[in-house]
Amino acid sequence: MRRRLTPPTFPVFIISLILAVLAVVSMFTNVPVIGHYLAGQHRFWVMGAAYLILFIGVLFDGL
């Protein structure tokens, strides 16, 4: 069975983009509000969550 991939909706894309940017920026500087959460290994999981959200948005139609 072939799956038809669709572009993610704008809100899904923005949420994924914000999470990915926060993970990358936290490597170079301290993020004021959530910087303590993005320290260490949590940065990897935040980036993984960003790509997972984007993947789900592409895989399922209407998300």
Whether the pLDDT of residue 35 is over 80: the answer is: no
Q: Could you write out the DSSP letters of every residue in 45-59?
A: HHHHHHHHHHHHHHH
Q: Domain segments of the chain: what residues? A: 10-59
pTM of the model as a whole: 0.82
Buried b or exposed e, range 10-35, using 16+ CB within 10 angstroms: eebeebbeebbebbeebeeeeeeeee
Taking only the tens place, the pLDDT of each residue in 37-59 is: 777 778 888 899 999 999 999 99
